[in-house]
Amino acid sequence: MEGAQMEDFRIEECENDNNTHEDSQMGESEQNNKHMEVAPALISVHPTRNSVAVSVGSDLRVFNLLEDCAVILVDEAGGASHSDSIRGIKYGANGKLFVSAGDDKLVKVWSTESWRCIATVCSEKRVSAVAISNDGLHVCFADKFGVVWVVDLPGVDETQAPLNKKAVPLLAHYCSIITSLEFSPDGHFIVSADRDFKIRVTVFPKKPLDGAHEVQSFCLGHTEFVSCLAFICTPDSPQGILVSGGGDSTVRMWDIISGSLLDTCAVGAKAQFESDTTEGNCSTVTDICTIPACTLIAVAIQSLRGIMLLSCDLSSRTLSVMKVVSIIGENFVPTSLGSSISGGLLWMVTGASKLRGSDVSSLSRVKVISGFEKSSPNASEQEPAVLVDSEIPGGAKLLEKLQGSISVDEKVFLAAADAVKTAMCNLLIKKQYSDEKREFRKRTRNDRKSKH
Amino acid sequence: MLQNKANPTISKSTGLPRKRFYRARAHSNPLSDSHFPVPLSPSHVDYSLHYPQLFPSSDCSDGSKKIEFADIGCGFGGLLISLSTLFPETLMIGMELRDKVTEYVKERILGLRLANPSQFQNVSVVRTNSMKYIPNYFEKGQLSKMFFLFPDPHFKEKNHRRRVISPHLLDEYAYVLKVGGIIYTITDVEELGEWMKSCLQNHPMFEPLSEMELDGDPVVKLLSTATEEGKKVARNGGQTFQAVYRRITLASQENS
């Protein structure tokens, strides 16, 4: 018989985003739901570790590791911060640009030297994923309708006034929320993953503004939504090896040229065994991060207090679980992972904004795992170890900036951590509406394009 | 399916289903709740389910013969039935969103197979949403023909994005069509006809067939005559608007 049972009502969610009438007529609890949609904290590391960025809610926090100081973001055109939850942050591979975007429908492009916002792009819908082309000439973002947009950026010119750019559609996943957007290491392909289990590999053309029409392959195999993508760089294939994580608790490895599934690693089962929580079924893969220079993949799993390390065997093209690095003494379940191309450290953040049932409105806690340097032939094998706060590059200053405070009160942390967990669960699972509510949403749906 | 002796849904004389028990609205919302199984990938499509005589067991598919024609929104199956005898060596499938209508086509094919041994073994139907799941059914360059006959016009501008032919969806159709494969579209709604033609014209991976090629293609005539919709339009003396395009390789782009 044919495969997984598909439920087609996913569309409703992305369809109904422009609902402005809804608020006044909804019950209070429902109204709370809409405005209190929790956003997980995200982390991104500069390719050569010049800086580290964390976003929590609408707040974007950057620490300059080169100069050992907090960064003050500058945006002449508008506010230097987003006005609603940030859903995607990323550094460009060449290290010159940084992009942030989210629920306020604004895509902001920043120079990583001056941390000035050099361009702002308006999106018609809320943004769910972002990516910068390796040469830094294009920024792509995906909206909640499944359309991936592209905008071109002329050479970064510090003296120019910030640009208000208009994006054009690049490609689309029909009515499916795109969860992740990544460029292949050689820049030839752009990969988009969606909540309908699909991964599409598209040739990134020389003139992206004309659209990316040539589909290279579809990587099909996940039996649940795909939540994250990452590339392993290997000298054999310039296009890299793609790894993906999803709601089916697996990490999968793909050949993007053919779309074939190379290997699958059922990380959920292993995580259940290792983690000390007895609650079932919270083993979605929430983020993956490849650690360059050692073909290791760090995996964040929904209920795991720590990360799972997978090792990738390039010759046999297989994945295997290497070990689980647990975080002791703190209820730390990472919501986002990051690493620099120079490797060596894995950065993690846990947190969320718009927390309910907690005194603080947002939480952000950063931790680092070290021990991934390529060991010299003589040295004994390095073991990955969680660094204590004082050992983290940037130390107390970095933590103060990225967390909002040097240390987080344990009670607060516990209450918030619980809220984070619920939030991640709710975020990843498709919203289901009662029949009444669905009819109401259908009636009041507004599909008109915004007038700018 | 309710069946009783007095009013059988399958006609006793012909063994074919009676349409009035399978009537459904012409319009179906491609975005609404639907629950139907979808293959995980093209290699998971069960050929023995669709073409039992040609693929007696699930294991027996040696991968050499694959579906080549897809009728998107096949309705009551008129086109497929005609194509089945015109191309007896080719595997073809209809995709339809409406449950009842899919059931009708299934029964029709079964009835025809019984009445005509060794014929109609190459045609089948599946209930699915082709706007979302085409890559699940077909590999890259698998299809040689795709049909979009009298698709839902979705008149309101806000619903235009639900149209089955659109610039974005053409990327996916180009993916499953082999180079040289042909996409056939026809409608009796002039505005939709212009829309589809313009989408195809503007897509870099499709080029129009010449008048000569259209005349030489036996399938083109079937577009307006083989289906219920087509016959209805002819009866009413209506005009049809067709756009038939060939899948080409993307022209290599010069470095700008």
| pLDDT tens-place string over residues B125-136 | 999 998 999 999
- Interatomic CA distance for residues A191 and B192, integer angstroms: 32
B97: annotated binding-site residue? Answer: yes
pLDDT at B10: 77
Catalytic residue (one of B152, B171, B188, B217)? B152
DSSP tag of B55: -
**What average pLDDT does this structure show over A212-232?**
96
Please judge whether A175 and B45 are an interchain contact, meaning their C-beta atoms are less than 8 angstroms apart. Answer: no
Our CA-based measurement puts residue A153 at a distance from the nearest CA of chain B, in whole angstroms, of 15
Which residue of chain A has the CA closest to B137? A2
- Interatomic CA distance for residues B108 and B11, integer angstroms: 11
**What average pLDDT does this structure show over A177-194?**
96
Say which residue the tokens 């195809």 belong to.
B200
Please judge whether A8 and B255 are an interchain contact, meaning their C-beta atoms are less than 8 angstroms apart. Answer: no
Nearest to A174 among B41, B131, B205 (CB): B131
Q: By residue range, what is the domain housing residue A175?
A: 73-220
Q: Is pLDDT above 90 for A336?
A: yes
Short-list B196, B140, B133, B192, CA closest to B166: B196
Short-list A310, A351, A292, CA closest to A47: A292
Whether A108 is in a domain gets the answer yes
- Ordered by start, the domain boundaries in chain B are 38-247
B230: annotated binding-site residue? Answer: no
- The mean predicted confidence, pLDDT, of chain A is 82
- Contact of A154 with chain B, judged by CB distance below 8 Å, is answered with no
Whether A134 is in a domain gets the answer yes
Provide the 3-class DSSP secondary structure of residue B177. Answer: strand
Whether A207 is in a domain gets the answer yes
B82: annotated binding-site residue? Answer: no
Q: Is pLDDT above 90 for A126?
A: yes
For residue A214, the chain B residues in CB contact (below 8 A) are 171, 174, 205, 250
User: A18: pLDDT confidence band, cut at 50, 70 and 90?
Assistant: very low
For residue B39, the chain A residues in CB contact (below 8 A) are 2-3
Q: Is pLDDT above 70 for A357?
A: no
Whether A62 is in a domain gets the answer no
The CATH number covering residue A208 comes to 2.130.10.10
For the ranges A276-280, A362-366, B4-8, the one whose mean pLDDT is highest = A362-366
pLDDT at A435: 67
Question: Could you say which architecture CATH assigns to the domain B38-247?
Answer: 3-Layer(aba) Sandwich (3.40)
Q: What is the pLDDT of residues B240-255, one digit of tens each?
A: 999 999 999 987 644 4
**What average pLDDT does this structure show over A229-253?**
94
Short-list A274, A110, A122, A140, CA closest to A208: A140
Tell me how far CA of residue A396 lies from CA of A66, A393, A401, in angstroms.
Answer: 15, 9, 9
User: A452: pLDDT confidence band, cut at 50, 70 and 90?
Assistant: very low
Q: Is pLDDT above 80 for B11?
A: no
Residues linked to residue B17 through DSSP beta bridges, in sequence order: B10
Our CA-based measurement puts residue B147 at a distance from the nearest CA of chain A, in whole angstroms, of 19
- Interatomic CA distance for residues A128 and A45, integer angstroms: 19
Return the residue in A8, A175, A195, A250 with the most chain B beta carbons within 10 A, the one to mutate for interface testing: A8
Q: Is pLDDT above 70 for A414?
A: yes
For the ranges A115-119, B21-25, B53-57, B201-205, the one whose mean pLDDT is highest = B201-205
pLDDT at A273: 60
The two tokens of residue B1 are 């399916």
User: A159: pLDDT confidence band, cut at 50, 70 and 90?
Assistant: low
B227: annotated binding-site residue? Answer: yes
Our CA-based measurement puts residue B33 at a distance from the nearest CA of chain A, in whole angstroms, of 4
Nearest to A6 among B36, B159, B168 (CB): B36
Whether A313 is in a domain gets the answer no
Q: Is pLDDT above 80 for A5?
A: no
Please judge whether B131 and A214 are an interchain contact, meaning their C-beta atoms are less than 8 angstroms apart. Answer: no
Residues linked to residue A277 through DSSP beta bridges, in sequence order: none
Is B152 known to be catalytic?
A: yes
Q: How large a percentage of chain A has pLDDT more than 90? A: 57
- Return all residues near A35 (Cβ < 8 A) that are at least 6 apart: A354
Q: How large a percentage of chain A has pLDDT more than 70? A: 78
**What's the order of all strands across the beta sheet hosting B67-72?**
B123-127, B91-96, B67-72, B143-149, B177-187, B241-247, B206-208
B83: annotated binding-site residue? Answer: no
Nearest to B135 among A6, A8, A198 (CB): A198
Q: What is the pLDDT of residues A32-75, one digit of tens each?
A: 344 456 788 999 999 999 999 999 999 999 999 999 999 999 88
- Contact of A7 with chain B, judged by CB distance below 8 Å, is answered with yes
- Contact of A176 with chain B, judged by CB distance below 8 Å, is answered with yes
pLDDT at A21: 34
Please judge whether B35 and A223 are an interchain contact, meaning their C-beta atoms are less than 8 angstroms apart. Answer: no
Q: What is the pLDDT of residues A245-279, one digit of tens each?
A: 999 999 999 999 999 999 999 998 877 665 555 45
Whether A152 is in a domain gets the answer yes
B228: annotated binding-site residue? Answer: yes
Please judge whether B135 and A205 are an interchain contact, meaning their C-beta atoms are less than 8 angstroms apart. Answer: no
User: B5: pLDDT confidence band, cut at 50, 70 and 90?
Assistant: low
> A345 or B21: whose pLDDT is higher?
A345
Which residue of chain A has the CA closest to B33? A9
Please judge whether A221 and B172 are an interchain contact, meaning their C-beta atoms are less than 8 angstroms apart. Answer: no
> A170 or A407: whose pLDDT is higher?
A170
B112: annotated binding-site residue? Answer: no
Nearest to A213 among B34, B39, B171 (CB): B171
> A234 or A77: whose pLDDT is higher?
A234
pLDDT at B173: 98
ipTM: 0.88
Q: Is pLDDT above 70 for A355?
A: no
Output the CA torsion sign for B156, B162, B168, B173. negative
Q: Is pLDDT above 60 for A10?
A: no
Q: Which of A10-24, A155-169, A317-331 is the least confident region? A: A10-24
A vs B: CB pairs below 8 A:
109
B185: annotated binding-site residue? Answer: no
pLDDT at B228: 84
Torsion of CA B31, B32, B37, B43, to 10 degrees: 0
Q: Is pLDDT above 60 for A362?
A: yes
Return the residue in A1, A5, A6, A434 with the most chain B beta carbons within 10 A, the one to mutate for interface testing: A6
The residue count of chain B comes to 256
User: A78: pLDDT confidence band, cut at 50, 70 and 90?
Assistant: low
For residue A174, the chain B residues in CB contact (below 8 A) are 131-132, 168-169, 172
Q: Is pLDDT above 60 for B149?
A: yes
- Contact of A35 with chain B, judged by CB distance below 8 Å, is answered with no
For residue B141, the chain A residues in CB contact (below 8 A) are none
Which residue of chain A has the CA closest to B126? A2
Q: Is pLDDT above 60 for A451?
A: no
- Interatomic CA distance for residues A291 and A343, integer angstroms: 6
For the ranges A12-16, A121-125, A433-437, B2-6, the one whose mean pLDDT is highest = A121-125
Please judge whether A4 and B38 are an interchain contact, meaning their C-beta atoms are less than 8 angstroms apart. Answer: yes
- Interatomic CA distance for residues A301 and A245, integer angstroms: 9
